[in-house]
Amino acid sequence: NAGVMQNPRHLVRRRGQEARLRCSPMKGHSHVYWYRQLPEEGLKFMVYLQKENIIDESGMPKERFSAEFPKEGPSILRIQQVVRGDSAAYFCASSPWAAYEQYFGPGTRLTVT
Amino acid sequence: GIQVEQSPPDLILQEGANSTLRCNFSDSVNNLQWFHQNPWGQLINLFYIPSGTKQNGRLSATTVATERYSLLYISSSQTTDSGVYFCAVRGAQKLVFGQGTRLTINP
């Protein structure tokens, strides 16, 4: 059973460009969570999604950030008009149901130049 | 919201030593997980432990939910144990992470 997959593993964008981060949950998992880790800090929750629904986006910045988890395909975290402060590691996690253990992917390291 | 505090922030030990990492949380929680973030940045699940005690090889964990703390024990440390150890508790649907304990094991 493959683990949570994220791609790309590393992403470099210039200020003002768009970044698209992808997450494929573990097989049988329909709950996806995105977290951000700034350098030398712990992980901070961003958004929780189930198929086709955003359940909790209380950790998402109000502007430029969006997330989706379509019926088919991976979950996407989209950052428009990136700024240097968006440079971070973005982790995706999945679980088979809401109240259970979360399993993390390897992360996408975004660098904004 | 829930606050999670981990101690100590940094720990430097010689290979073969034992260590205890602590996680305090401010409110009742539905679950608690321990992770190891290795030097390559990968998060590895160690324990899912809302209460009680679990053991996995040289690692064990205990959560006392009524007193709002959890302990991670590492025995006979190896250099591959180096990295950052995170405790995370679940409030509502999301995990709230502590700031981590950075463990360095010297040969």
Interatomic CA distance for residues A74 and A92, integer angstroms:
11
Statement: residue A1 has pLDDT above 80: no
Min distance B8 CA to chain A CA atoms (Å): 15
Question: Which of B84, B93, B99 to mutate against chain A (most A CBs within 10 Å)?
Answer: B93
Which 24-43 residues of chain B touch chain A by CB within 8 A?
A: 30-31, 33, 35, 41-43
Statement: residue A41 has pLDDT above 90: no
Q: In this structure, what token pair is assigned to residue A112?
A: 């904004």
Tens of pLDDT along B93-106? 789 999 999 999 99
Average pLDDT estimate for B75-92: 93
Q: Write down the mean pLDDT value for chain B.
A: 94
Interatomic CA distance for residues B89 and B95, integer angstroms:
5
Name the pLDDT band for A97 (thresholds 50, 70, 90). Answer: confident
pLDDT of residue B91: 73
Contacts of A93 in chain B (CB under 8 A): 95
* Sole residue written with tokens 């899912």: B48
pLDDT of residue B104: 96
Average pLDDT estimate for A28-47: 93
A58-91: string of b/e by CB count within 10 Å (b at 16+)?
ebbeeeebebebeeeebbbbebeebeeebbbbbb
How far, in Å, are A17, A43, A48, A106, B66 from residue A60 at the CA level?
19, 13, 10, 20, 32
Q: How crowded is residue A18: how many other Cβ atoms within 10 Å of its Cβ? A: 11
Tens of pLDDT along B5-41? 999 999 999 999 999 999 999 988 878 999 999 988 9
- The β-bridge partners of B104 are B12
Average pLDDT estimate for A63-90: 96
Contact state of B93 with A55 under an 8 Å Cβ cutoff: yes
pLDDT of residue B106: 96
The DSSP code sequence of A1-43 is: ----EEE-SEEEE-TT--EEEEEEPPTT--EEEEEEE-TTS-E
Question: A17 — alpha (psi -120 to 50), left (phi > 0) or beta?
Answer: beta
Tens of pLDDT along A9-36? 999 999 999 999 999 999 999 999 999 9
Interatomic CA distance for residues B36 and B86, integer angstroms:
6
Contacts of B93 in chain A (CB under 8 A): 33, 48, 55-56, 98
Average pLDDT estimate for B80-107: 93
Contact state of A43 with B95 under an 8 Å Cβ cutoff: yes
Contact state of A56 with B93 under an 8 Å Cβ cutoff: yes
pLDDT > 90: percent of chain A: 86
Contact state of A55 with B95 under an 8 Å Cβ cutoff: no
- Say if strands B19-25 and B69-74 run parallel, antiparallel, or are unpaired: antiparallel
Contact state of A42 with B33 under an 8 Å Cβ cutoff: no
